Chains A and B, each alone.
Chain A
């Protein structure tokens, strides 16, 4: 049995049939071959599968693909415009805010969500918001530096 859904992924409208027990992460990775989102824990606590659904950060390993009906989904693959990196990607590159890179997609998407709701987070706000994104390589200092640089560049900056 499959469920028909209509959704938008990285700006592209899609009509798709998904399995009732298929997670959004499985659908993105297996069916759409968007493999930048990673499964780390499978229980929604490590953050490596974070994607944006209607602009909000979501653990795609916990959300059913069928619940993407009518939603706008954005993954790491949908951030850069051709050669033009998203400002968050650029900040991560400049601060070298990655090591093994497995958590990086989720970390960037979570940062994206944070900044869209709070363009100038304090360090405490950033730590709190990103505490659900685990980096075992321990690159937190650099991620915080990237967020700080983005907050300072924000047009709402003082």
Chain B
């Protein structure tokens, strides 16, 4: 009845199927005007003049905002370091950096006004490659001290000064020199991954207005209203109680809507316009606003002949673009797990977060982990091939196990990774060592590949929930978790319903409104079910206790002998002795009115010491595996995914169908980045910023055989044992496909993503001794 662990239908279905569901760009306010922005056409330049006076004169223009209009507010924002100005001050740092904004009665007028803003640039040397940006003499993007002010988990980062290297993560275990000495074979390779756009079909959007009296109200398409509130409060020197952030349905995020993007400028423009201002990005602007960190990962691994990994050294460079956003967190996240989900006595892991003159990045589904997973899991298959060991057996031999101490110092619990790997291998029909048999690649070649992944979640972090039980036995969950498509309103309703012994149909889950709903750190890091679900469960548990005490009096029974079933309190073993929830209210208050409420702040503790990279890196770990089967056309280099299977340890699947759909979404996203998705630049100029040139996977790319497997290894701290699943399936897909391609082509290893046809063909020509 309560539906926990069952496929309870999504509560947002009826609204979404009728086109009734409201997204930010659908919200309208009386007197609303429209924003458009002027963007830099240079990748790096000093701004010698920004003059908006002519634009202001255009009829229909309500406000023009340039660097001269930031009086009475702070200029910089950012979730980890404050390095991003609301509009450019002294210089621009990427093609698309915002120089000025206009609010006008009509969008056309705003566009026209942009052309009247005079800007003089003095071009500066720019740097686009993160490895180049780390070298002495490279043009420095951020010299000023603006990035000193920080927030969030600042204490966890090792920052660099006066360099394009913003932060470094480093952790060691044992002594890699000793480990490599003990190794029979050493593998040393360099892998790279590309810039990928999130591609949420809903572009970023925001609508801001100021109430007379000085309160700022903003509707926005964000994944974390509480962070938006905090940062807007700091920008405008307001108490957080005077900033109200409301989040309607969000049309996909995948990390691209974490932390402020449009909100600071929309609020500043609304302040200037004295009118509600709506700003909705075009698709091309979305490409200039966020993307996934490109990476270069050097990996050196020592193994003994029996297949034991004895030492691993990883150095990863993450291209964070022109502004930090969550770059230091992403980079740390990648570094913590750069050695993979393996027991390795000697490890040396380093990752660098580096500025370049390219659009800012921020979180992307997988948060820094797919980059290192691509490297260690591709190399793992090369190791298996050289040692003549089945890649499945090699992994199983080295995998972390329940209770292991991880390189970060965390004790691993709820470790279902071997079951994930075995499940995926079985589903793809894995035949062992023969999958790597040598063959002459010709015609259409087939191969299978495997990969595994481990990932941390944001730690420490905080989620608060408030549960209100009404006298009729229905309940409301007040939460700032965002419905971004993952089904959070449904799974949270199931958790509350389970605890209160009522049907999820009787539970309503709010949309975030920071005036009303409690703090939540973020709808990201696949943390909502674990952290917010934990808060909701605890709050509901407290309400249940209040009810039990009333029930004990009314039913003259011990609290321990009572249970809540289908909206009634009954004596265990004597279900005829029961009272409905409204009868309990009646007994307690003399009338079946009012409500009982309780709130709970769920704080996960931990964090790492920036000097050692160790501590408690994660409240729980994501563990997953992928198996893929591909067909490669050796003439054209085209890779076709015949079959892909993802297996994820969900802890406990609160709503299995939703878990499967998260896995499926992860798989489709990463088969796009495995095979063709790639943001291309020419000297900093974006080349393919529309869906005509950059196409996310469509139904035609959807593999014929496509399967998600759920493993359930309950986590002691998760609600009903649940962990998160939103990103878990993503990481291992790229290397599983890469390994399948290698196995199809007799061991041809391609180390740069995506696996474009031209790269496959070039690789085959090299193998055949032809010139490329």
Contact = CB atoms under 8 A, between A and B. Distances in A.
Contacts of A40: 201-203, 283, 691
Contacts of B668: 138, 140
A134 B22 CA distance: 20
Contacts of B700: 127-128, 131
Interface string B179-211: 000000000000000000011111100000000
Given A131-B699, A136-B669, A100 B10 contact: no
Interface string A81-109: 00001000100110010111111110010
Contacts of A101: 12, 15-16, 21, 249, 251, 485
Interface stretch (A1-9, A63-71, A72-80, A149-157): A72-80
A39 B487 CA distance: 22
A21 B669 CA distance: 35
Interface of B: 9-10, 12-23, 25-26, 108, 198-203, 249-252, 254, 282-283, 484-487, 657, 661, 664-669, 690-692, 695-700, 702, 706
A132 B695 CA distance: 10
A149 to B, nearest CB: 15
7 contacts: A36-B18, A45-B690, A45-B691, A131-B699, A134-B199, A134-B696, A139-B664
Contacts of A79: 18
Contact of B17 (A48, A102, A108, A140): A108
Contact of A140 (B203, B252, B254, B702): B702
Which 9 A-B pairs have CB atoms at the shortest separation, nearest pair first? A36-B19, A100-B485, A102-B251, A101-B16, A76-B19, A138-B668, A138-B665, A99-B485, A41-B691
A37 to B, nearest CB: 7
A43 interface: yes
A143 interface: yes
Contacts of B667: 138
Contacts of A104: 16-17, 19
Nearest to A139: B661
A142 to B, nearest CB: 7
A14 interface: no
A92 B486 contact: no
B283 A38 contact: no
Contacts of A140: 668, 699, 702
A143 B665 CA distance: 13
B92 to A, nearest CB: 25
Interface residues of A, number: 52
Contacts, number: 156
A19 B14 CA distance: 34
B17 A99 contact: no
Nearest to A92: B17
Contact of A132 (B9, B666, B698): B698
B201 A130 contact: no
A136 B12 contact: no
B201 A96 contact: no
A134 B12 contact: no
A58 to B, nearest CB: 16
A96 B691 contact: no
A32 interface: no
B25 to A, nearest CB: 8
A127 to B, nearest CB: 5
Contacts of A89: 17-18
Interface string A104-137: 1100100000000000000000111011111111
Nearest to B13: A93
B669 A42 contact: no
B679 to A, nearest CB: 15
Nearest to B15: A101
A101 B20 CA distance: 10
Given A40-B203, A139-B661, A98 B283 contact: no
Nearest to B17: A89
B378 to A, nearest CB: 24
